Structure 1
Amino acid sequence: MASLRGHSVTFSEERVSDAIRKAGVYFGYEKLKDLQVQVISGIIFGQDVFAVLPTGFGKSLCYACLPLVFDLLYKPSQPSIVCVVTPLTAIIEDQVSSLSSKGLATGSVTGNMTSNMLDRIKTGKCQLLFFNPEMLLQQSIWRCLLQSKEYKSRLQALVIDEAHTVIKWGETFRQSLKNLGEIRSLLQEDVKCLALTATATKALRVKVSELIGLVKPLVIAVSPCKQNMMYAVSKFNTIEETFAPVLKGIKTQRTSFPRMIIYSRRYDECNKLYLYFRSALEDGFTEPPDAPDLCRFRLVDKFTSCIVKSVKSQIIEYFGKDSCLRIVIATVAFGMGLDCPDVRQVIHLGASDNIEGYIQETGRCGRDGKPCLALLLLSNYMNHYREKSMLEYQSNTTHCRRDMLFQDADEYTHVDMGSKCLCCDVCTKSCDCGSCVQKHGICNFTFLDTKL
């Protein structure tokens, strides 16, 4: 039975399920996924919840439905409020824009609020309120807001989105993330917390739960392993030599070229790679070739912290819809929360710092379920910062890469891909299917030569 604090009435599972169904219909979904229903139900029934759901699964719909479900069940005199803490401003802006367009009263606490937004937040006009963690933790006005009479009576849940960053970023350059447990301590004891991420090993999940103060959380986890993805590692020589197949493909296929994200930890490398394509494509850098050099016409673009905010927003917009943009060269800041189902290849120029990060970044590929490739190009740069498991993955030549990546993930068991050549470059060596691309001599696991 579910009961809301301040209310003695309780509801059956059937009544809660019906409210969740109606909330889903409000957002255009006739039926939510079973695990989305479980996540929402867990909070409604008074549990903390830690949900590990794959990239593209629809995690944001879980917290978007929460205030509507509370209101459908309890019909309070004032609408319920749910607060969401997420580390990237781009995600906040995208969610506020998307959910507001569907009629949900949504607001955000970031560094560039309008006076109108500030008034709406202070008077409790936003049912779904997004916070940048630094603003929430470092400015007393927001702590006081959460403890105000208005919010004490109406705040029903706290959501920590991209929860893996609490550890991965919180212990390095975003220390506010590591201190989010302080916010939990300010709230009423019966305000439940939902942690969401696409990637977390069991050990990481336990550590994050402790830091943000989850109490005996209901764990809802799906293995992040995607059966439509092939994994490979290859040697990186020079930009010109290694990326020649990509250049050839973008020149000939233009806007038909399969979408690709190329990640590099180094800003200078991102710039060099971007300039390589820009110079080599010449007038063909845009579509049509004589178009102005603006985001909406480029075939290739770059996304780093040095890019101005307005351009970042445009890149996210154009990469998430039918547009000219085919390749984005980026640091890891690009892709988190991105809704782009048709990315066919994710290329890493140098490994991620850890396995969780690599799974998270490659997970932005193949959301539509169609075949895709995750290719790691070996680079010794910053190897001393990488965790042992990542170093073992990139040097491995004998073990299934899929097993190495997901062995510590919840709900993972070895996947029978049918043909070993559909799994990874290591498994392909022992493939005997008789029809794999390697036996036809057209696959050396480099970009366009892989016929997926």
Structure 2
Amino acid sequence: MTDTAFPQSEILDRLHAVFGFNAFRGVQADVVERVLAGRSTLAVMPTGAGKSLTYQLPAVMLPGTCVVVSPLIALMHDQLRSATANGIRAATLTSVDMDRGQTIDRFLAGDLDLLYVAPERASQPHFLDMLTRGRVAMFAIDEAHCVSEWGHDFRPDYRLLRPLMDAFPDVPRLALTATADRHTRADILAQLGIPEEGLIVAGFDRPNIRYAITPRDNPLRQLMTVIAENPGPGIVYAPTRAQVEKLSQQLQASGRPCLPYHAGLDPQVRADNQARFVASEDMVMVATVAFGMGIDKPDVRFVAHAACPKSIESYYQETGRAGRDGDPSVAVMLWGAEDFVRARQRLAEVEEHRRAGERTRIDALASLVETPHCRRALLLRHFGENPPPSCGNCDNCLDAPRVTDATEVARKLLSAVYRTGQSFGFGYVEKVLTGVADERVTQRGHDQLSVFGIVTTDEAPLLRPLARALQARGALVATEHGGLALGGDARAILKGEADVPLVLVPKKEGRPGRRRGSAGGALNPVGDPLFDALRTLRRDLAREAGVPPYVIFHDSVLREMAAARPASLGELGQIGGVGTRKLDAYGDRFLAVIRQW
């Protein structure tokens, strides 16, 4: 494909006509201009930065069809709804579509702007044969980190896409991902045949998400607090199917609709639960990490982890499902020492050549949960950025924890673990250190040890959080029978060669996700009755069209309508997010509601 010279004015005109925006955000303009000029590109953009626009806009401007490779059918169908609502001619070619023959005919006739397919289908010879009989404008590879073994969601079929694209040497390729460190980015470029100069990296920061991480002490109460403080849809991630089922039942006491989602559910139940969540404006979905990648729901107001995710990359991707619409959102993580115990035990199951990398990921996650400093700064530095030292929108910046030097107490705790034989749990070791001479302690003669009763009254409250912190950093490890043993840098601590700063979490009710006032910000913070009336109309229109409410308009668009109170279709069309197709379809009905106020 030769360079296509589209005047800037024409690009902006189409941007407004199709999507209702007067300007690009972030690096969108750079990506779109490269694609329109026929240059292959890897765009690393945070969730919510508008990645889909960077191929949907070129798709309606370039002759031919943009072939979009996407990993999940649910995600394709979600994006299909949004594209169709904007007047884009789009279709999916998946195993569950009954109109596959019609879709192929539309492609061959040049009647499609977008064609969504899974990598498993895209890598088949028959798909290549079909493409050669039509006209391909570009290839868009969504969730491109799936192509890399360095990535956290490796999908082998992504590695079979290169031959397909190489068969169309003049067709540009656009790879898109939100989570890719330097290793992964280099691998994506190599695997998909994109030149290094084609890399565009937007910042990883999601400033509208407030991060809060706190020890797990009463998880049900803590999660109830998060739900109570955050109106709007939310996701609670739990590590096992059994915990998903139990939590989804318990959290119904919050008064909010609450459903489970995990791979063990009947496929139809799983699909129904997901559809109900996508359409809802207040539902809480309790899920394993199998849930989320397949939805493009922009109005998720909170994501809560009931336990640690497997890595910082996973944490970033999972929390990134909150606030894709740019409105204030909350990401809360509850963590415990057992999360890190399990993670370090799983290292034995990892292939030896990957073990060091996985250990580094666990250590990085331990640093995130134990830091007394800005969470966001640590997160962004992990992805190679150089952020300011404070963000003003995480728990540590809003409510700084106290840090104490617990090195001496740590040495006492580690000594007691060692001298009692590295086979007892925390409760027993705590009794020895605090001088509780019960029957078990005296029978073993541990009341005669030099460590018996050496912890002072002031030091005793530090033992439990200290044991948790030492397990997070790997200085204490669990034995197969649930006892504690020395590991990591324990000997360096005992020798006085390593310090142990201990973060003391402020004792305040509702700290997870807490902020001055309501945590997530009310959906209608000023209590404007017009905004509520517009939401009611949107809900009715969504029900009529059989689509989620956000496909009609985002909350931010309704807020702007309520504030500007446009009196004509022309004025309504100037509001961001109101494109030509939506103005024609819904404009008169929204104006009718606005005129009532």
TM-score using structure 2 length: 0.59
Indicate the residue corresponding to 1:40 in structure 2. 32
What is the SS of the residue equivalent to 2:148?
A: helix
| Equivalent in the alignment of 2:122 | 136
1:144 and 1:375 map into 2 onto residues whose CA distance is 48
Equivalences for residues 291-440 of structure 1 within 5 A: 299-307=257-265, 311-312=269-270, 314-320=272-278, 323-325=281-283, 327-336=284-293, 338-367=295-324, 368-370=326-328, 372-378=330-336, 379=339, 380-383=341-344, 384=346, 387-396=358-367, 397-398=370-371, 400=373, 401-409=375-383, 411-418=385-392, 421=395, 423=397, 428-429=401-402
Q: How does 1:35-434 map to 2 (within 5 A)?
A: 35-71=27-63, 80-114=64-98, 115-137=101-123, 139-146=124-131, 148=132, 150-151=133-134, 154-167=135-148, 174-185=155-166, 187-236=167-216, 241-247=218-224, 257=231, 259-278=233-252, 281=253, 299-307=257-265, 311-312=269-270, 314-320=272-278, 323-325=281-283, 327-336=284-293, 338-367=295-324, 368-370=326-328, 372-378=330-336, 379=339, 380-383=341-344, 384=346, 387-396=358-367, 397-398=370-371, 400=373, 401-409=375-383, 411-418=385-392, 421=395, 423=397, 428-429=401-402
Give yes or no for contact 2:46–2:203 (8 Å, CA) kept in 1: yes
Distance 1:93 1:308, change over 3 A: farther
Q: CA RMSD in A?
A: 3.4
Question: In the aligned structure 1, how far is the partner of 2:389 from the partner of 2:323?
Answer: 17
Residues 225, 406 of structure 1: 8 Å contact kept: yes
AA matched with 1:86: S
Q: What is the rounded CA distance, in whole Å, between the counterparts of 1:25 and 1:201 in structure 2?
A: 33
Contact 1:444–1:450 (CA<8 Å) still a contact in 2? no
Deviations 1:397-450 (A, max 9, x none): 34633333222425442343258855488x5437xxxxxxx9995357435698
Asked if the contact 1:181/1:211 (under 8 Å) is kept, the reply is yes
1:74-124 deviation digits (Å, cap 9, x = unpaired): xxxxxx111010101111011122212333221212112224334334554
State the 1:131 CA deviation. 0.9
Q: Structure 1 residues 99, 313: closer, same or farther in 2, change over 3 A?
A: farther
Distance in 2 between residues matched to 1:123 and 1:56, nearest whole Å: 34
CA contact (8 A) 2:44 2:177 kept: yes
> Who is 1:289 aligned against?
none
- Contact in 2 for aligned 1:249/1:257 (Cα 8 Å): no
TM-superposed deviation, 1:130? 0.7
Displacement of 1:369 in angstroms is: 4.0
Q: How many Å separate the matches in 1 of 2:60 and 2:389? A: 38
- Using the alignment, how far apart are the partners of 1:170 and 1:183 within structure 2? 22
Q: Distance in 1 between matches of 2:137 and 2:122?
A: 17
Identity %: 26
Could you say which residue in structure 2 is the equivalent of 1:446? 512
Deviation per CA, 1:360-401: give whole Å up to 9, x if none.
Answer: 111122343425233142324344259234322443334633
Q: CA 1:323/1:387 → structure 2, altered by over 3 Å: closer, same or farther?
A: same
CA distance in 1 between partners of 2:362 and 2:90 (Å): 43
SS in 1 for 2:183: helix
Label 1:132 to 1:269 Cα distance change in 2 as closer, same or farther (>3 A).
same
CA distance in 2, matches of 1:247, 1:231: 17
Q: Determine the C-alpha separation between the residues in 2 that align with 1:231 and 1:315.
A: 27
Residue 424 of structure 2 aligns with which residue? none
Change (3 A) 1:351 1:216: same
Paired residues of 1:232 and 1:374 also in contact (CA < 8 A):
yes
Shift of 1:225: 2.1
- Deviation, 1:64, is 0.9
The Cα of 1:173 is off from its aligned counterpart by 6.8
Q: Deviations over 1:305-339 (max 9, x none)?
A: 344555555544554455341x1111223223644
- Contact 2:213/2:395 (8 A) holds in 1: no
Is the 1:353–1:387 contact (alpha carbons within 8 Å) kept by the matching residues of 2?
no
Equivalent position SS for 2:204: coil
| Gap runs ≥5 in structure 1 | 72-79, 286-297, 431-437
CA contact (8 A) 2:75 2:296 kept: no
Q: Which amino acid aligns with 1:416?
A: S
Distance 1:439 1:111, change over 3 A: closer
Q: In the alignment, residue 236 of structure 2 is paired with which amino acid?
A: I
Alignment-mate amino acid for residue 446 of structure 1 = P
Shift of 1:44: 1.6
Cα displacement (A) at 1:222: 1.9
Residue 184 of structure 1 deviates from its aligned partner by: 2.2
CA distance, structure 2, for counterparts of residue 89 and residue 444 of structure 1: 38
SS state of the match for residue 59, structure 1?
coil
Aligned to 1:56, the other structure's residue is in SS state coil
SS of the equivalent of 1:350 reads coil
Whole-angstrom CA distance in 2 between matches of 1:176 and 1:424: 44
Aligned length: 398
Deviation at 1:258, TM superposition (A): 5.0
Contact 2:323–2:329 (8 Å) recurs in 1: yes
Q: Tell me the amino acid that sits aligned with residue 68 of structure 2.
A: V
Shift of 1:167: 2.4
1:31 corresponds to which residue?
22
Structure-1 separation of matches of 2:237 and 2:192: 30
Cα 1:372–1:310 shift into 2, 3 Å: same
The structure with the greater share of residues assigned to helix is 2
Mapped partners of 2:394, 2:315: distance in 1:
22
